[in-house]
């Protein structure tokens, strides 16, 4: 028996749903609109939804005058680098946990997740000193390592939940046919696991791009990504609202768009398959 809904009711719920969604989205929308205003109309009172003097000036200025391109590039290198390195280390681990589980596999997975619970700030000082000592402080490679290790448990978990859904019989068949371990991984497992790997990659690029603890504490200027740059954009005193908005819009735009594409996978990925 299908439920029937009156059109009236659908109109009401649609209106309510759009109202709530726009309210939630409004701060982002307002930031984007502000980024196209002049500094004067950005702080106009009462606030103007659309200003008469629409301009791209802020973007041009942010991009050309500050070190913005460098921060942007650092974000790209750090988020993609740490994710790829993490995948390279996590894929074999998740593969063997999913297909050759031992008695301890579940404990091991739980232990990995529990390392995420350790407050990063608890180990801030040693990390700071180690990074200084090893010459990793304020370097991209240092941040790639730190973020890779920070997200490694999540990467292993996500891959594990995806790999577990691949039927083991197919791998066994390949093995019977004489495929070596290497061939098994490259020619059988990887193509089947590719969708899972892709969404793990996407989600971890997002997490790494938005990370705002190690990126702020382990950098000064050279390797600082956008998160550190925006965090230090302190007390703009009204005069820089439009430029702050332009810088912020550029900082979140790539991830927002990636996020929109990956939102279907987001729930599965971040709940480690517990909610599908």
Partner 1 sequence: MATQSSRIAARIMVAPSVILLFVWMIVPLAMTVWFSFRLYRLLSPDRTGWVGMRNYTWFLNSPDFWLAISNTLLLVGGVLAITIIFGVLIALLLDQPVWGQGPLRILVISPFFVMPPVAASIWENLFMHPQNGMFASLALGLGYQPVLFMEDYPMASVIFIVAWEWLPFATLILLTALQSLSSEQIEAAEIDGAGPFNRFRYIVLPHLTRAITVVVLIQTIFLLGIFGEIFTTTQGGPGSASTTLPYMIYKQAVIAKDIGRAAAGGIIAVILANIVAYFLMRGIGKHLDA
Binders of partner 1 in range 190-229 (CB under 8 A)? 206, 209-210, 212-213, 216-217, 226-228
Stretch binding partner 1 (CB under 8 A), from 42-50, 58-66, 135-143, 187-195: 42-50
What is the nearest approach in angstroms of partner 1 to the Cβ of residue 57?
18
What is the nearest approach in angstroms of partner 1 to the Cβ of residue 56?
19
What is the nearest approach in angstroms of partner 1 to the Cβ of residue 63?
17
Restricted to residues 246-265, the positions that interact with partner 1 (CB under 8 A) are 248, 251-252, 255-256, 258-260, 263
Q: Is 40 in the site for partner 1 (CB under 8 A)?
A: no
- Which letter, b or e, does each residue of 5-43 get, where b requires 16 or more Cβ atoms within 10 Å of its Cβ? eeeeeeeeeeeeeeeeeeeeeeeeeebbbbbbbbbebbb
Distance CA(240)–CA(237), nearest Å, equals 7
Nearer to partner 1, 55 or 213 (CB): 213
Q: Is 196 exposed, middle or buried (0-12, 13-18, 19+ CB in 10 A)?
A: buried
Q: Which of 76, 124, 141, 179 binds partner 1 (CB under 8 A)?
A: 124
Q: Is 73 in the site for partner 1 (CB under 8 A)?
A: no
What is the nearest approach in angstroms of partner 1 to the Cβ of residue 176?
11
Q: Which of 84, 89, 141, 179 binds partner 1 (CB under 8 A)?
A: 89
Nearer to partner 1, 47 or 135 (CB): 47
Question: Tokens at residue 2, please?
Answer: 């299908």
Distance CA(254)–CA(245), nearest Å, equals 15
Q: Judge contact between 251 and 230, C-beta under 8 A.
A: yes
Q: Is the dihedral of CA 148, 153, 155, 159 positive or negative?
A: positive
Give the DSSP letter string of 93-148: HHHHHHHS--TTHHHHHHHHHHHTTS-GGGGHHHHHHHHHHTT-TT-HHHHHHHHH
Residue with tokens 């973007």: 59
Q: Is 112 in the site for partner 1 (CB under 8 A)?
A: yes
Say whether 18 sits in a helix, a strand or coil.
helix
Q: Is 77 in the site for partner 1 (CB under 8 A)?
A: no
Stretch binding partner 1 (CB under 8 A), from 50-58, 63-71, 99-107, 186-194: 99-107
Size of the site for partner 1 (CB under 8 A): 99
Q: Is 51 in the site for partner 1 (CB under 8 A)?
A: no
Q: Is 135 exposed, middle or buried (0-12, 13-18, 19+ CB in 10 A)?
A: exposed
Stretch binding partner 1 (CB under 8 A), from 66-74, 136-144, 188-196, 231-239: 231-239
Q: Which of 20, 134, 173, 198 binds partner 1 (CB under 8 A)?
A: 20
Q: Judge contact between 143 and 223, C-beta under 8 A.
A: yes
């Amino acid at each position: 028996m299908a439920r029937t809904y009156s059109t009236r009711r659908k109109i009401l719920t649609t209106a309510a749903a759009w109202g709530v969604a726009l309210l939630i989205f409004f701060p982002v929308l307002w930031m984007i609109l502000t980024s196209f205003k002049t500094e004067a109309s950005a702080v106009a009172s009462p606030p103007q939804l659309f200003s008469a003097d629409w301009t791209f000036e802020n973007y041009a200025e942010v991009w050309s005058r500050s070190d913005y391109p460098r921060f942007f590039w650092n974000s790209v290198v750090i988020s993609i680098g740490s994710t790829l390195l993490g995948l390279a280390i996590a894929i074999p681990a998740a593969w063997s946990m999913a297909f050759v589980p031992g008695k301890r596999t579940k404990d091991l997975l739980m232990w990995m997740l529990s390392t995420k619970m350790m407050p990063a700030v608890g180990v801030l000082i040693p990390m700071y000193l180690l990074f200084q000592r090893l010459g990793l402080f304020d370097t991209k490679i240092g941040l790639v390592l730190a973020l890779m290790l920070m997200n490694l448990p999540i990467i292993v978990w996500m891959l594990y939940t995806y790999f577990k859904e691949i039927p083991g019989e197919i791998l066994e068949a390949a093995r019977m046919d004489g495929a070596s371990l290497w061939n098994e991984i490259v020619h059988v497992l990887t193509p089947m696991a590719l969708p899972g790997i892709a969404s793990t990659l996407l989600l971890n690029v997002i997490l790494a791009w938005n990370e705002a603890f190690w990126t702020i504490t382990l950098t000064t200027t050279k390797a600082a990504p956008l998160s550190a740059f925006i965090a230090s954009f302190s007390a703009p005193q009204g005069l820089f609202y439009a430029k702050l908005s332009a810088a912020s819009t550029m900082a979140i735009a790539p991830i927002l768009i990636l996020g929109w594409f990956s939102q279907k996978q987001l729930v599965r990925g971040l709940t480690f398959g517990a909610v599908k």
